Amino acid sequence: MRYRVTVHAPASDGDDTERLRAAAAAKGLEVAELRTEEAPDGAQVFHLESEIVALSAYDARDVSGLNLFAEVFDQAGLTVERHTIRIAAERAT
């Protein structure tokens, strides 16, 4: 199944969106939207929207999706701890 995912993770002070976009592309992801935004607590976060193939919404959110996006952040050279990555997933239409 294809799932539309929205990923939020802490952003650094610099603008690393292009490095993140390149790392996502290297993993075969097509990024629909990528920006930094202010979280409710005032911290800056990455907001990334894409589609992935997963067994279920749970898998897209908490297993394969989490592993995939942790690798994307790592490949981009961004230090993001896995437990700080938040993913929302819904079936793509």
pLDDT digits 0-9 by tens, 54-92: 999 999 999 999 999 999 999 999 989 999 999 999 999
| Domain limits for position 26 | 2-91
Q: How many domains does the structure of the chain reveal?
A: 1
Quick: pLDDT tens for 13-35: 767 899 999 999 999 999 999 99
Domain containing residue 85: CATH number:
3.30.70.260
- Which phi-psi region, left, alpha or beta, contains residue 8 (left: φ > 0; alpha: ψ -120 to 50)? beta
CA max distance for the chain: 36
User: Hey, which bits of the chain come out as E strands?
Assistant: 2-10, 31-38, 44-53, 86-91
Identity of residue 33: E
